[in-house]
A and B are shown apart, each in its own frame.
Chain A
């Protein structure tokens, strides 16, 4: 079974600074997808960024980028120029290439200090 580990229960960053959230996963599949979701206190889960395992290039969405290390099974999220609105719980998720359900990590609570 696939597992997703987020080793940082909480992180904090100063406004305008950069922060990196860690995620590792375990799988025997070669084809899969990785996601970062943001869950603000209002609870709506928002898709931040996704990465296809077959793509070597790291995904980027505005201030959000990932560092995908396939051999190390690592998928970290970098948030640049942090904003107060980035404060939320961040979940890393895995989806197998022959599967449809998401497997989530336990999340990292990000605090942004003004």
Chain B
């Protein structure tokens, strides 16, 4: 596709519900990243995939957060038993190559509101 797409764009969940956020990276991009952006803050790293391998999940806030990219393309970020502090915008980014010189391109994000 022309850019990174994410769905849904908005998600409202009741506390305790599970949610799944989808990311479609730019076709052919090897690397995929998830970031969390709290209101009024810069994005913070959650996790990183190179193809289907999750190479770094050090930014995931708790074991309620789980991400996968089973075929090395589409990725899903799942949050179990959502809490109010999970409310944020979740951004997905992809880059063509795996090295640090490869620029990251972001999707529009999913705004999650937990009531």
Contact = CB atoms under 8 A, between A and B. Distances in A.
Interface stretch (A11-19, A57-65, A76-84, A93-101): A93-101
A107 B42 contact: yes
B27 interface: no
B48 A100 contact: yes
B75 interface: no
A93 to B, nearest CB: 8
A102 B45 contact: yes
Interface residues of B, number: 28
A102 B104 contact: yes
Interface residues of A, number: 28
Contacts of B89: 43
Contacts of A28: none
Interface string A34-52: 0101000011111100101
Contacts, number: 64
A43 B109 contact: yes
A8 to B, nearest CB: 14
B112 to A, nearest CB: 13
B53 to A, nearest CB: 13
A100 B42 contact: no
B103 A50 contact: yes
Contacts of A4: 42
Contacts of A98: 100
B45 A52 contact: no
A104 B44 CA distance: 7
A105 B41 CA distance: 8
Given A96-B100, A97-B100, A102 B105 contact: no
Closest 7 A/B residue pairs (Cβ): A104-B42, A45-B106, A101-B45, A44-B108, A43-B109, A106-B42, A95-B100
15 contacts: A4-B42, A32-B100, A43-B89, A43-B111, A44-B107, A45-B91, A45-B106, A47-B104, A91-B43, A96-B100, A98-B100, A100-B56, A100-B100, A105-B42, A107-B41
